[in-house]
Structure 1
Amino acid sequence: MIPDERVQSVREFNRFYTRVLGVLAEGLNDTPYSLTESRVLFELSQRESTEVTALRRDLGLDAGYLSRLLARFESDGLVSRDKSATDARRQVAGLTEAGQSTMKMLNERSDAEVHRLLDPLGDDDQRELVAAMDVIRRRLTKNRQDNAVVLRPPRPGDLGWVVERNGALYAQEHQWGATYEAVVARIVADYAAGHDPAREAGWIAEINGERAGSVFCTRKDNDTAKLRLLLVEPSARGMGVGGRLVDECLRFATSVGYRTIELWTMNVLISARRIYQSRGFTLVESEHHDTFAPGQTAETWRKELYDR
């Protein structure tokens, strides 16, 4: 049973967001087209032509209502309709040149409206807002196959991103300041300047082409590897990204002959600690650590990769 306050919170958000977007106004973004009409035009712009039954199914619209919309668009010269080449009983629709121009205008006005919403916000606030929107979209998407996690080696620009995101994210979530960011910068600089590709590696996690996380496997000594700088973006949490990154690090460390792997973390990183425990890491040492923020504990975790 979903608590009433959660239901009311969702309804309040819906009312707020429709006011922000102006979708209750007569025309979306000062155009003659409603939100539904704009969505129909957008879907048609994404394909050269489409069967009307498929368009109705994809948009969840009533058949009669969609037929009236298409008839109006056809009358305005925005849409053309014809019989399907494979089944004369079916109808296909597509945008005309005028329809494409109208869709271009709608896209430009929509982009301008988003700029208006985001411009007053700083970079960190913009990232937080977009990340929250990504979470809402993913949680409410029935089919999450499009959100496949891809792991790849770091490319130019990725190492700078690792430093920036560690600094910004942990300052926001745990009030860690420049001291932590400096530690990350030194680790990344050492890796960039002289890591041994045969014994050390890094991975960037991507979702739909966007960076979503990172991790590194570095050498402590001939027998021991170190798992370092595990990071998962808030928008990607709950999708198994952290586990995938840790598993890849363990696979690599085992394949190149390390017998043990260890990591250093903080007690406040609860989700990361759960991943380490689930992969067989054991807490072997802890100590009071005020360097990043008061009242926190530093921890060393270790895992044997081979039975001795």
Structure 2
Amino acid sequence: MTVQDIRSFNRFYTRVIGALDYSRTLHAPYTLTETRVLYELAHSPRTDAADLRAALSLDSGYLSRILNKFERDGLVERAPGRGDSRRTGVVLTARGRETAVLLDERSNTSVGSLLATVPAGDRPRLAEALRTVRELLSGAEGRGRSPAAGDVVLRGPGPGDLGWIVQRNAALYAAEYGWDARYEALVARIVADFAAGHDPAAERVWIAELDGRPVGCVMCVRDEAPETARLRLLLVEPGARGLRIGDRLVRAVVGFARDAGYRALVLWTNDVLTTARHLYVRHGFTLTAEQPHHSFGHDLVGQDWRLDLREATSREPADGHHTGSATG
């Protein structure tokens, strides 16, 4: 392998995906980098310029010009960051969210057309080759340093991700709390109900991705109570804790629920999940009820928590070192 081998592949791939003329490929007035900034904002609804700069490794002046353009186009709004006036908060407007969804759909269509040219029998080989490239180059890029919060991307679920949510919840809670297969059955029902028919404007799943693999998840669904959303299935992999992933996932749900017009956000958890409960408190949730129960092979104390979205403002957590579950 030589430098020229990699450069040759780069020239080939940028031509294949149309990266040199990305705006024409997607029929949109935005470059590849601008589209990537929109994607990050859409999947992390409450962020600031410093977060974006770290997550995307962009020059501060270049990012500022992109945000200025977005502001002129009515895609974003900026304001002093919560708790620190030196940081600039950035949030998508309704028009910005619509634009991000449209560009994401066009990107999926473009890549889908490319994938359609690959025979079905060759696709597993292609997927394995892509994983190999990611693993090897991620190792070279990250050698000598630990993962950072900026390495984590929040995204929507792709094929297989909903199954991953069920599998990882079952495995982690069996290993860490000894919960039996009845917990896996509960998670499977929650995920199946979402997959069978959810309202994209009012319900969403987020996957936290690190180095091309899922390391966390959370779900926001409509509750039975009027104008109320429910946070469910918050989870962070043990090897990814300490990167504030849980904080970002909860912030994403709170921001989405508020923007979707809900008046309250609720969740059900158990008292043994102490770190998750501390996270909910830091985000302004209050405990409204407790009830002993025997579930998943153990005596537990279930807890109902509530956040009033009309009044509460999320408080900045110190870190995101937790696995927490909000299942009910």
Indicate the TM-score class for this superposition, using the shorter chain for normalisation.
Answer: 0.5 to 0.7
1:195 equivalent to 2:175? Answer: no
- State the distance in 1 between where 2:161 and 2:310 align: 32
Equivalent residues in 2 for 1:35-54 (5 A)?
none
- State the distance in 2 between where 1:47 and 1:279 align: 48
Question: Which residue pairs with 1:293 in the alignment?
Answer: 297
Alpha-carbon shift at residue 265 of structure 1 (Å)? 0.5
Give the direction of change, closer, same or farther, for the CA distance of 1:192–1:48 in structure 2 (3 Å limit). Answer: same
Contact map agreement 1:176 1:293 (CA 8 A) in 2: yes
Question: Which residue pairs with 1:241 in the alignment?
Answer: 245
SS at match of 2:298: coil
- State the distance in 1 between where 2:153 and 2:211 align: 9
Q: Which has the higher contact order (CA 8 A, sep 6+)?
A: 2
Question: Which residue pairs with 2:260 in the alignment?
Answer: 256
Equivalent residues in 2 for 1:204-243 (5 A)?
204-220=207-223, 221-243=225-247
Question: Which residue pairs with 1:275 in the alignment?
Answer: 279
Question: Which residue pairs with 1:164 in the alignment?
Answer: 167
Alpha-carbon shift at residue 46 of structure 1 (Å)? 7.8
SS at match of 1:182: helix
- State the distance in 2 between where 1:210 and 1:271 align: 24
Contact map agreement 1:218 1:225 (CA 8 A) in 2: yes
Give the direction of change, closer, same or farther, for the CA distance of 1:174–1:255 in structure 2 (3 Å limit). Answer: same
Give the direction of change, closer, same or farther, for the CA distance of 1:170–1:257 in structure 2 (3 Å limit). Answer: same
- State the distance in 2 between where 1:173 and 1:46 align: 46
- State the distance in 2 between where 1:145 and 1:199 align: 31
- State the distance in 2 between where 1:245 and 1:160 align: 19
Give the direction of change, closer, same or farther, for the CA distance of 1:141–1:198 in structure 2 (3 Å limit). Answer: same
Contact map agreement 2:149 2:244 (CA 8 A) in 1: no
Q: Which amino acid aligns with 1:190?
A: D
SS at match of 1:296: strand
- State the distance in 1 between where 2:243 and 2:4 align: 34
Give the direction of change, closer, same or farther, for the CA distance of 1:254–1:290 in structure 2 (3 Å limit). Answer: same
- State the distance in 1 between where 2:229 and 2:149 align: 34
Contact map agreement 2:148 2:243 (CA 8 A) in 1: no
SS at match of 2:251: helix
Contact map agreement 2:179 2:298 (CA 8 A) in 1: no
Give the direction of change, closer, same or farther, for the CA distance of 1:306–1:177 in structure 2 (3 Å limit). Answer: same
Contact map agreement 2:209 2:215 (CA 8 A) in 1: yes
Q: Which amino acid aligns with 2:299?
A: G
SS at match of 1:159: helix
Q: Which amino acid aligns with 2:197?
A: G
- State the distance in 2 between where 1:147 and 1:46 align: 30
Bigger Rg over Cα? 1
Q: Runs of at least 4 residues of structure 1 off by over 2 A?
A: 45-49, 140-147
Query: After superposition, what is the alpha-carbon deviation per residue over 1:127-158, rounded to whole angstroms, capped at 9, x for unaligned?
Result: xxxxxxxxxxx9x9546448611000111100
Query: After superposition, what is the alpha-carbon deviation per residue over 1:212-250, rounded to whole angstroms, capped at 9, x for unaligned?
Result: 000000001441000000010001111111111000000
Q: Which amino acid aligns with 2:215?
A: A
SS at match of 1:290: strand
1:152 equivalent to 2:155? Answer: yes
SS at match of 1:252: helix
Give the direction of change, closer, same or farther, for the CA distance of 1:145–1:235 in structure 2 (3 Å limit). Answer: closer
Give the direction of change, closer, same or farther, for the CA distance of 1:296–1:242 in structure 2 (3 Å limit). Answer: same
Unaligned runs of 5+ in 1: 1-44, 50-137
Contact map agreement 1:147 1:207 (CA 8 A) in 2: no
Question: Which residue pairs with 2:36 in the alignment?
Answer: none
- State the distance in 1 between where 2:242 and 2:148 align: 14
- State the distance in 2 between where 1:182 and 1:46 align: 51
Give the direction of change, closer, same or farther, for the CA distance of 1:236–1:222 in structure 2 (3 Å limit). Answer: same
Question: Which residue pairs with 1:182 in the alignment?
Answer: 185
Contact map agreement 2:216 2:236 (CA 8 A) in 1: yes
Give the direction of change, closer, same or farther, for the CA distance of 1:173–1:46 in structure 2 (3 Å limit). Answer: farther
Q: How many residues align?
A: 175
SS at match of 2:232: strand
Alpha-carbon shift at residue 295 of structure 1 (Å)? 2.9
Give the direction of change, closer, same or farther, for the CA distance of 1:218–1:142 in structure 2 (3 Å limit). Answer: same
- State the distance in 2 between where 1:145 and 1:265 align: 28
Alpha-carbon shift at residue 208 of structure 1 (Å)? 1.1
Give the direction of change, closer, same or farther, for the CA distance of 1:282–1:208 in structure 2 (3 Å limit). Answer: same
